[in-house]
Structure 1
């Protein structure tokens, strides 16, 4: 029985993974913002007779302080982690720039900073596993440049949450590389995984405009994968982790890392800037 942590596990891909892993006999720790959704998931797990292998931890992962609290809580509860799956994301479309109470742009904080913190802070627990694996559910393969002078897109007006998410995906690519470089002497594997279009509630209800919502639902019905099918590659990685320290996939298709990340030197730069940014916001964080 493996211990698997899923960040963002009460909806969509994370929820489907949690239920399937419980069916497979694994020990699953779910981190999510909504205690109501966490309780709903617990009841579903109970119907599968898996409640003794299930833990729900409530946290707002858009806050650095909450990520650190959750890391400490997991360290108190388990002595190792076999797999860490990073799914937390807000797909709600917005043209309004919004900051967390810690002063970070919301999408940047949830989609990148949280994954940065959890990846590095959980590495000691991962090292204790025989086959440790991190799966970062993002969007490797998205083209575009990193806005080095504006990582949080604070000056981009009008603000566009879709652009923020795409930019966050490019940051996650470099996060994967930075992690792989810093843990080269370990057997931890890091997978950047793009599930493509998936028929989740978050994706199909991202827009408030009624007409757009109808059009998006129709589009996802045509091109989107049912969530049960979308998680199959992730389940395969969990069963048989890739041999390389860093790999990238779009669904079942392996991507060329050299094309996903064209400049290896940028990962160290982003790592340094991320630490400096967190310190500037007066949030204590120690990363090895």
Structure 2
């Protein structure tokens, strides 16, 4: 029985994975913001005779302090983690630059910084597994230049949440490199995974404008995968992790790491900038 942590597991891909893993007999720890959705998921786990293998932990993963708290909470409850799956994302379209109460741009904090903290802080727990794996559900293959002087897109003209998410995917690519380098002497594997267009509620309900919403739903009906189908490749990787320390896939297609991350040395720069940012907001932060 595997112990699998899913960050952002009460909706969409994370939720579907949680239920399927319960069916498969695995132990699942779900981290999410909504206690109500967590309770709904617990009831479904109980219907699958998996309540004893299900744990929901409430946390706002857009906050540095909450990520660190939840790592400590998981560490108190389990001896090791076999796999960490990172799904948390806010797909709601917005032109408003919104900061968390810690003073960080919301999408940057949730889509990149949370993944950074959990990836590094769960390393010790993952090292105790025979075949540890981190799956970062983001968008490898999407080309996006890094705004090195403005990682949170504070001064890049009118704010756009789509731009913020695309930029976050570029940051997550480099996070994969940094984690793989940090784990070079371990057996931790890191997988950057792009599920493509998936018919989740978050994706199809992202826009408030009714006409745009109807158009998006039509497009996703044509090109989007149902969630049950979209998680099949992830379930395959859970069962059979990649052999390389860092891999990237778009659905079932393996991507060339050298093409999607042409300058791996930039990961060191991003690592240092991220550590400096966390220390300014939260105090000392060690990744070893």
How does the TM-score come out when normalised to structure 1? 0.99
**Deviation at residue 282 of structure 1 after TM alignment:** 3.8
1:192 aligns with 2:192: yes
The CA distance in 1 between the partners of 2:283 and 2:84, in whole Å, is: 23
- SS state of the match for residue 281, structure 1? helix
Q: Which residue number corresponds to residue 46 of structure 1?
A: 46
Does the 8 A contact of 1:64 with 1:283 survive in 2?
Answer: no
- SS state of the match for residue 180, structure 1? helix
How does the TM-score come out when normalised to structure 2? 0.99
The CA distance in 1 between the partners of 2:198 and 2:173, in whole Å, is: 20
Q: Which residue number corresponds to residue 237 of structure 2?
A: 237
The CA distance in 2 between the partners of 1:77 and 1:284, in whole Å, is: 24
Q: Which residue number corresponds to residue 209 of structure 1?
A: 209
The CA distance in 1 between the partners of 2:216 and 2:139, in whole Å, is: 19
The CA distance in 2 between the partners of 1:193 and 1:99, in whole Å, is: 27
Superposed CA RMSD in Å reads 0.6
**Deviation at residue 284 of structure 1 after TM alignment:** 3.9
Q: Which residue number corresponds to residue 60 of structure 1?
A: 60
**Deviation at residue 283 of structure 1 after TM alignment:** 3.9
Q: 1:163-178 to 2 correspondence within 5 Å?
A: 163-178=163-178
5+ long unaligned stretches in structure 2: none
Does the 8 A contact of 1:86 with 1:137 survive in 2?
Answer: yes
The CA distance in 2 between the partners of 1:142 and 1:178, in whole Å, is: 19
Does the 8 A contact of 2:32 with 2:60 survive in 1?
Answer: yes
CA deviation digits over 1:169-194, x for unaligned, max 9?
A: 00000000000001100000000000
Q: 1:266-285 to 2 correspondence within 5 Å?
A: 266-285=266-285
Q: 1:1-288 to 2 correspondence within 5 Å?
A: 1-288=1-288
CA deviation digits over 1:132-154, x for unaligned, max 9?
A: 00000000011121000000001
Does the 8 A contact of 1:65 with 1:283 survive in 2?
Answer: no
* Number of matched pairs: 288
Does the 8 A contact of 2:138 with 2:172 survive in 1?
Answer: yes
The CA distance in 1 between the partners of 2:173 and 2:158, in whole Å, is: 25
The CA distance in 2 between the partners of 1:30 and 1:81, in whole Å, is: 13
**Deviation at residue 111 of structure 1 after TM alignment:** 0.2
Distance 1:224 1:84, change over 3 A: same
The CA distance in 1 between the partners of 2:141 and 2:172, in whole Å, is: 11
